[in-house]
Structure 1
Amino acid sequence: MSAYEVPQPILNSPFREPQEHWHIVEGEDPEKRPGRRPAMYFYRDPKVKPEKEYGTVAGTAIELKLVNRIRTQVKKWRLDGYPGVTRTTSELLQWWQREGRDKRLFFAQLDAVETVIFLAEARADFRQGIDVPQEELSKDKQAQGFAAFRRYACKMATGSGKTTVMGMVAAWSILNKVNDRSDARFSDVVLVVCPNVTIKNRLRELDPEEGEASLYRTRDLVPSHLMPLLTQGRVLVTNWHVFELQSTQTGGISARVTKAGVEVRTKETITIGPKSTTARGTRYLTLDDLYRQAAAGLLTILGEEREQDGALKKVTVESRRYVESDAAFVNRILGREVGGKQNILVMNDEAHHAYRIARDERDEDEEDLFGEVEEADDFFKEATVWVEGLDRIHKHRGINFCLDVSATPYFLGRVGQDTNRPFPWVVSDFGLIDAIESGLVKIPQLAVRDTTGKEIPGYFNIWHWMLPQLSPAERGGKKANPKPEAILKYAHHPIAMLGGLWEKEREDWSVNREDPRPPVFILVCKNTQIAKVLYEWLAEDKAPTGIPPVKIEGFRNKGGQYTIRVDSKVVRESDSGETKNDEVRWMRFTLDTVGRQSWPSDRVGRPIYPEGSRNSPRNSVALILLLGAMSGASSA
């Protein structure tokens, strides 16, 4: 057993509060300690480079004092019988924890929900001294009439049942509101916001109108006699893309534009190019389109930059566009059925996408963090559109509170001194190690040696292992944007080795498992160029000069589609659910169906198909090539 292993990873029951935990410190033997692990996080300064070869920067353990304070008070409140709660809440808490449940709820789920209920209903003496920080709004936002809304974040490891937690909170809020319309602590309109249409489709079970097919019945969250009351509330599930203000402009770039809605002005730099497009974070216009838009009143040229021969190179402009009003936006999002109801309960699924970012100028290191400029731009756009949409809802209808549910409720990317720190409004914490020790998730298998026999293997993080070996020319200069062929020169051996381990696992599964689905190998690439070369090498047996063939038959697309390359542009388009492009529809269907053997059923038992397809689920995919930031991934 290596120094990185523990003899007994699972210490606790998934249905009870953890009684033990492993205390693990680098350079010391693991120590089994009594009690629940204190809530904390490990902070790594993103600007500090690792000292060790192939290593990572050691994080500094920082206590989550607010979480630990709340955790202590919630436990006292629980042991005292939940003083202060309504009769409806008491009935639900008893229902969720009653003896003899066929589908017992995990402690992680009950802990998160109890924390939310505690903050809303616990008797005042239990909540004394607990103050959850709110987000700070810029002075510009405040001047526009926007105000901060209350946010709570529950950190829950992937696989610990976040969707069930959202269902429990929705049921608690709606049933309490239906029973007492005057109680402002509760809401009967719940808005669930998620990152893409795949998750949106999976979250349809949160709609009480699904009846017996809803999560409230399949997970036994609400007794049958309360379902008619629950359906008096509304649960709306949407993806963040709908929060982008819709244009009311009808004239395009023609000489005459019909102007309606609210005028929005922005300053930007436009590069003159052979075609009008946006690429790598830069907007291009042809000369003809530039002058047409200027003549149409869509932009005003403020400054020019010319080549030595006098040709126009770049222009600084003030662009004008016309979008829907905030009131129209809110009516579109909430719909007619909600009417003018206020005090909305919002739940953000995968909430690490939704927070305020101050980004006046592009950071020079963004491409290193996100892989491509477009990835960085998408990251900032998603965060901005998501939160600004909630701001508009709060301004016009009022947000009761916003529940953020995420395995990683951290500030990602470069957002100043808060980078890599958790949201200050995190109120509960049941992370990955807690989930492992409770047997909720699979135990990760990490590389413990490579072909060199080093104790800390280079293959643990292939990207960090490769970079020092690249020549300056291969590395691609200051931006560290290496050529794909240079990457494969060093990456082909570890990928082939790991792929061989996958092949052996697949063979074992085919003999020892009744489940026909193969294990899925996921390879994360820094950019589209690297992904393309790797795809051709793995799936099409097209190796660059000097690179041996991979010889993993399970990855080759012969007689079927076993390896897929998930292009970031296709994912962006498919996430919004608005495209009609065949390639995008195929990609979305494939991603929706990987590993599925059957479709979920509606309230009368009919299969619920993905939009636009009734084909069988896709069980043959063996390898997925994804794009993503490389600085922290064990990837190539």
Structure 2
Amino acid sequence: MLPDRFPLAENLTLRYIDDAHALRAGAPNALIDNVTPITAELLRWWFQQDYCDVRPLNFHDGQRDAILAIIYAHEVLGSTSLLDLYQKVALDEMLEGGLLGEVSHARNAHPKYAAKMATGTGKTWVLNALLVWQYLNRMANPGDERFTSNFLIVAPGLIVYDRLLDSFQGKRNGGEQRNFETSDIYSQRELFVPDTYRQQVFGFLQSSIVTKSDIGNKVTGSGTVAITNWHLLAGVEDPLFLDDEDTEAPGQEIDARAAAASFIPLTPGTSTGNSLDVLDRRFRRGEALQWLVDLPDLLVFNDEAHHIHTLKKGQESSEVEWQKSLSEIASTKGHHFVQIDFSATPYNESGTGKNRGKKFFPHIVVDFDLKEAMGKGLVKALALDKR
């Protein structure tokens, strides 16, 4: 049984789990009956035992549950906001647990899902599968507002950013060129994509990947997959040797002098801190942000999402700079903006001293924790949360 602090995860699991077992056995089930033909084909391909038996690699149960929970919430239930999802599956828990204020906040006024998955359990493969699900449905049903072909994938630092490029573009061939055949989706194509759709998906990825330096500049065709670390849109310097364990969300107080300086036009000059590099970075941030704001629809995948949510100070909550940018991007799209967060530790810390505690994200729809992952032999070593 899932802990009661994750009411969405518990109640969604109860709704789809019987269908998941029937799906694996190839038996009729309500889940298949209530999704699009594209989604039905993908679910059979990914999870039906007949297909799984002829592949060397398959999704494990934690990955399966993350994929099914998000597809069920978004496509079957047609969730249009976090409040809407709670009203459909966890109304009593929302009212009794004091969640109404948080759930109905403006930053949650769009479809929003979080996958709590232990480190090392393959969150990127879940991300790949969900991207394929969204893209193929958008191409088959361009008028269906539940789907998009515009994606933004956000990494917590440069190391994870580079790993995401490896996953989608393939590894480098000794230089700057990447070999797409070493990408996750291509190298594991027997898992991710039915053969009927492979050329379509491969063509989309090869033509539509946009790296952080090209966001707002590169022209793509039937959609885009923009990959960045959050520093670009937060307007801060990229740490050169920073991994996801050491990333800290920017949230320091701004003094009066800095606030006043922000209203004065910037001119180059290292003595004032306005070097050409700084000015260029701020210009690129504004250019990229405006391009994302202007998109008609967008699905954002946040990898290691605990780095980019609200920063807790005592009992108060303030948005980090990237979260502010995310809210601005969402403001023009309504429910055409979708947010999917991945994290092993999806919580904010609140209070100080003896009153210090964890406040888990309210939009967790699946919980595949470290204990369960270790029990299935997926994780061999303990990973300590350094926060």
Q: TM-score range by the shorter chain?
A: 0.5 to 0.7
Which residue in 2 is equivalent to 1:235? 225
CA distance in 1, matches of 2:55, 2:115: 25
1:427 Cα offset (Å): 0.8
Which residue in 2 is equivalent to 1:435? 373
- Of residues 190, 194, 217, the one that matches 1:223 is 194
Work out whether residues 208 and 214 of structure 1, in 8 Å CA contact, stay in contact via their aligned partners in 2: yes
Work out whether residues 355 and 387 of structure 1, in 8 Å CA contact, stay in contact via their aligned partners in 2: yes
Q: Write out per-residue CA displacement over residues 333-361 of structure 1, whole angstroms, 9 at most, x where no aligned residue.
A: 485xx895322001110011122235499
1:105 Cα offset (Å): 1.4
CA distance in 1, matches of 2:159, 2:149: 25
User: 1:121 aligned to 2:75?
Assistant: yes
1:401 Cα offset (Å): 1.5
Which residue in 1 is equivalent to 2:81? none
CA distance in 2, matches of 1:130, 1:147: 16
1:157 Cα offset (Å): 0.7
Work out whether residues 154 and 301 of structure 2, in 8 Å CA contact, stay in contact via their aligned partners in 1: yes
CA distance in 2, matches of 1:426, 1:235: 24
Task: Return 5+ residue gaps in structure 1 as ranges.
Answer: 1-37, 41-61, 248-265, 271-282, 284-289, 299-322, 364-379, 446-521, 525-627, 630-636
Work out whether residues 244 and 389 of structure 1, in 8 Å CA contact, stay in contact via their aligned partners in 2: yes
CA distance in 2, matches of 1:102, 1:176: 27
User: 1:160 aligned to 2:121?
Assistant: yes
Q: Match of 1:411, SS?
A: strand
Q: Write out per-residue CA displacement over residues 439-462 of structure 1, whole angstroms, 9 at most, x where no aligned residue.
A: 1110549xxxxxxxxxxxxxxxxx
CA distance in 2, matches of 1:387, 1:77: 36
1:426 Cα offset (Å): 0.6
Per the alignment, do residues 408 and 339 of structure 1 end up closer, same or farther by CA in structure 2, a change over 3 Å counting?
closer
Work out whether residues 155 and 430 of structure 1, in 8 Å CA contact, stay in contact via their aligned partners in 2: yes
CA distance in 2, matches of 1:105, 1:167: 12
Work out whether residues 155 and 229 of structure 2, in 8 Å CA contact, stay in contact via their aligned partners in 1: yes
User: 1:106 aligned to 2:67?
Assistant: no
Q: Match of 2:46, SS?
A: helix
Work out whether residues 103 and 362 of structure 2, in 8 Å CA contact, stay in contact via their aligned partners in 1: no
Q: Greater CA deviation, 172-181 or 396-405? A: 396-405
CA distance in 2, matches of 1:200, 1:428: 24
Which residue in 2 is equivalent to 1:39? 2
CA distance in 2, matches of 1:174, 1:67: 25
1:268 Cα offset (Å): 2.2
Q: Write out per-residue CA displacement over residues 2-61 of structure 1, whole angstroms, 9 at most, x where no aligned residue.
A: xxxxxxxxxxxxxxxxxxxxxxxxxxxxxxxxxxxx112xxxxxxxxxxxxxxxxxxxxx
Work out whether residues 242 and 333 of structure 1, in 8 Å CA contact, stay in contact via their aligned partners in 2: no
CA distance in 1, matches of 2:356, 2:302: 20
RCO higher in structure (CA 8 A, sep ≥6): 2
Equivalent positions of 1:54-133 (< 5 A) are 63-78=5-20, 79=22, 80=29, 82=31, 83-97=33-47, 98=51, 99-122=53-76, 128-130=88-90
CA distance in 2, matches of 1:70, 1:437: 23
TM-score, L = length of structure 2: 0.65
Per the alignment, do residues 137 and 421 of structure 1 end up closer, same or farther by CA in structure 2, a change over 3 Å counting?
closer
CA distance in 2, matches of 1:134, 1:191: 28
Which residue in 2 is equivalent to 1:390? 326
Which residue in 2 is equivalent to 1:207? 168
Matched to 1:388, the amino acid is K
CA distance in 2, matches of 1:238, 1:194: 6
Which residue in 2 is equivalent to 1:332? 288
Cα RMSD between the aligned structures? 4.3
1:412 Cα offset (Å): 2.7
1:135 Cα offset (Å): 7.9
Per the alignment, do residues 187 and 443 of structure 1 end up closer, same or farther by CA in structure 2, a change over 3 Å counting?
same
- Of residues 133, 140, 145, the one that matches 1:184 is 145
1:413 Cα offset (Å): 5.2
CA distance in 2, matches of 1:181, 1:297: 43
Which residue in 2 is equivalent to 1:406? 343
Work out whether residues 63 and 123 of structure 2, in 8 Å CA contact, stay in contact via their aligned partners in 1: yes
Work out whether residues 196 and 240 of structure 1, in 8 Å CA contact, stay in contact via their aligned partners in 2: yes
Q: Match of 1:207, SS?
A: helix
Per the alignment, do residues 123 and 152 of structure 1 end up closer, same or farther by CA in structure 2, a change over 3 Å counting?
closer
Work out whether residues 411 and 418 of structure 1, in 8 Å CA contact, stay in contact via their aligned partners in 2: no
Per the alignment, do residues 101 and 75 of structure 1 end up closer, same or farther by CA in structure 2, a change over 3 Å counting?
same
Q: Write out per-residue CA displacement over residues 163-206 of structure 1, whole angstroms, 9 at most, x where no aligned residue.
A: 10111111111111111111110110111111101100000145
Q: Write out per-residue CA displacement over residues 405-452 of structure 1, whole angstroms, 9 at most, x where no aligned residue.
A: 11111113549989412111111001000001111110549xxxxxxx
Work out whether residues 120 and 185 of structure 1, in 8 Å CA contact, stay in contact via their aligned partners in 2: yes
Q: Match of 1:412, SS?
A: strand
Matched to 1:162, the amino acid is K
1:96 Cα offset (Å): 1.3
Per the alignment, do residues 414 and 238 of structure 1 end up closer, same or farther by CA in structure 2, a change over 3 Å counting?
farther
1:70 Cα offset (Å): 1.0
Work out whether residues 128 and 185 of structure 2, in 8 Å CA contact, stay in contact via their aligned partners in 1: yes
CA distance in 2, matches of 1:135, 1:237: 32
Equivalent positions of 1:470-619 (< 5 A) are none
CA distance in 2, matches of 1:436, 1:420: 23
Alignment identity in percent?
Answer: 27
Per the alignment, do residues 134 and 93 of structure 1 end up closer, same or farther by CA in structure 2, a change over 3 Å counting?
farther
1:74 Cα offset (Å): 1.5
CA distance in 1, matches of 2:102, 2:77: 28
Higher share of residues assigned helix: 2
1:148 Cα offset (Å): 3.5
Alignment length, in residue pairs?
302
1:149 Cα offset (Å): 3.2
CA distance in 2, matches of 1:339, 1:420: 32
Per the alignment, do residues 216 and 339 of structure 1 end up closer, same or farther by CA in structure 2, a change over 3 Å counting?
farther
Q: Match of 1:404, SS?
A: strand
Work out whether residues 113 and 168 of structure 1, in 8 Å CA contact, stay in contact via their aligned partners in 2: yes
Q: Write out per-residue CA displacement over residues 124-169 of structure 1, whole angstroms, 9 at most, x where no aligned residue.
A: 8x99534687884999xx7xxx873332111111111001011111
CA distance in 1, matches of 2:154, 2:380: 28
User: 1:268 aligned to 2:231?
Assistant: no
Work out whether residues 312 and 348 of structure 2, in 8 Å CA contact, stay in contact via their aligned partners in 1: no
Per the alignment, do residues 185 and 415 of structure 1 end up closer, same or farther by CA in structure 2, a change over 3 Å counting?
farther
